[in-house]
Amino acid sequence: MNRKKIVKGVGIGLLVIVAALMVYGVYWINDTYKPMAEAKEAMVGDGEVTVTNDTYITFKPKKDTDTGFIFYPGGLVEPESYAPLCRAIAEEGYLVVIVPMKLNLAILSADRADGVIKEYPEIKNWAIGGHSLGGVMAAQYASKHEEIKGVALYAAYPQGDQLQTSKAKIMSVYGSKDGVADLTKVKSASLPKGSEWLVIQGGNHCYFGDYGMQKGDNKAEVSRTVQQTKAVAATVALLKAIK
């Protein structure tokens, strides 16, 4: 076989590999976790909470508030999946904004909270949080923005010691049966002294949202409602503390 044929064969082989990787990448990115029926129901407003789904998914309580919570979704989880959790927080009297991410990956849109803060100048006290990858990127955002007064990590942890010197109030909540997050890193996260920790006994990874079972996760020993109720209570306590 002459050299030209070898080079041509290698070139065709590489093109086939690249094409296959592109097809797989498109499939992987589009293979998202979708909201369950309960999540879709939580997207409908009522007399207590107004729900808007535009640039952001916003849950606005009936009474005016000066405290808001920005939520970053987990990786490849469609943002509507967190509607029940976030709506329940809003029902306690706080503006809650879920931030949709490019390709449903918060790592590609880590600074999107900037737009939320600009859109709601009446909010004087901001907290930010997120689930899994969303929590990691929320922590990164908080580490760079001193105006953030609170951070809520759901089955997540900051990168390195980026929050160690933060003046924000921080809480970390996770399920004891989580099969997706690295619980060793969650438990050993470098957080400031005085940070709050909550272990939901029997809780898993995916029950912070309403998107079905997540690959690699363990079966929970509590209901989704129980897990979210505890997470909401911890988040509301954090929001009360930053007012």
For residue range 76-111, what is the model confidence (pLDDT) as tens digits? Answer: 999 999 999 999 999 999 999 999 999 999 999 999
Residue 31 confidence (pLDDT): 86
Q: Which distant-in-sequence residues (6+ apart) come within 8 Å of 180 by Cβ? A: 132, 155, 205, 206, 214, 216, 217
From residue 35, give the alpha-carbon distance in Å to each of 93, 199, 209: 24, 25, 8
Q: Are the C-beta atoms of 116 and 98 separated by less than 8 Å?
A: no
Measure the CA–CA gap between 186 and 189, rounded to whole angstroms. Answer: 5
- Give the residue extent of every domain in the chain: 1-31, 34-242
Residue 3 confidence (pLDDT): 57
Domain 34-242 has CATH 3.30.420.40: no
User: Does residue 16 sit in helix, strand or coil?
Assistant: helix
Position 158, amino acid: P
Residue 12 confidence (pLDDT): 44
Give the residue among 79, 59, 42 at the shortest CA–CA distance from 235.
Answer: 59
Residue 186 confidence (pLDDT): 98
Which position has the token pair 């880590």?
Answer: 110
Residue 1 confidence (pLDDT): 53
Which position has the token pair 């979210």?
Answer: 228
Q: Are the C-beta atoms of 190 and 164 separated by less than 8 Å?
A: yes
Q: Is 241 exposed, middle or buried (0-12, 13-18, 19+ CB in 10 A)?
A: middle
Residue 236 confidence (pLDDT): 98
Q: Which residues of the chain have pLDDT under 70?
A: 1-30
